[in-house]
Structure 1
Amino acid sequence: MAIDDITKKAQEFLNDEKVKGMLESEQAEDVSDRVLDGVAGLADSLTGGRFSEQIDDVKGTIDEKVGNE
């Protein structure tokens, strides 16, 4: 699965109204930051840093949709 496919699926999931309500909280922000940092770090490590910019873009897109910051 390509990075673009992952991004598209993540955006579809995060645009669901029920999901939006659950994700707009301080607790969700804290948890999501830790998870996103871990996943981004792992993805960057597995790809040898070749896709760091794309990984950061996906992380940023998801982070904007989760929590209250």
Structure 2
Amino acid sequence: MGLLNNLKAKLSPAKDKVSGLAQQHGDKIQHGIDKAAHVVDERTKGKYSNKIESGTGKAKGAVDRLAHKDEPGAAGDTFTPPSTPPPTS
């Protein structure tokens, strides 16, 4: 077994626990991210608003991925597969 496989095997239980916590407390985490972004934006007097907004979006996306909200069939899933064109005769 390679080093990477060994590391993955040892970290798997931790990932599952973090995923469960993200599912349970996702709304609180999202609120905390928003609150921190607001405080930082105030302290920097709006100088880095675009970067803060970008970082906030990435952090929220990471929380969603941890909570497995981006899996097909998950609540709020808006993905619609492309329709196949009708056969031409």
- TM normalised by structure 2 equals 0.49
2:44 to 23, 47, 50: 47
* Structure 1: runs of 5+ lacking an equivalent: 1-15
Hey, which bits of structure 1, 4+ residues long, moved more than 2 A? 16-21
1:47–1:36 CA distance, 2 compared to 1 (3 A): same
Cα distance change on mapping 1:20 and 1:28 into 2, 3 Å? farther
* Correspondence 1:31 to 2:28: yes
The within-5 A match list for 1:1-69 is 18-19=14-15, 21-23=17-19, 24-25=22-23, 27-67=24-64, 68=67, 69=69
SS at match of 2:59: helix
CA RMSD of aligned residues (A): 2.3
Report the alpha carbon displacement of residue 28 of structure 1 after superposing the two structures with TM. 2.8
Shift of 1:21: 5.0
The answer (yes or no) to whether the contact 1:28–1:66 under 8 Å persists in 2 is no
Q: Relative CO higher for 1 or 2, CA cutoff 8 Å, sep ≥ 6?
A: 1
Task: Give 5+ residue unaligned stretches, structure 2.
Answer: 1-10, 70-89
Q: CA deviation at 1:57?
A: 0.6
More helix as a share of residues: 1
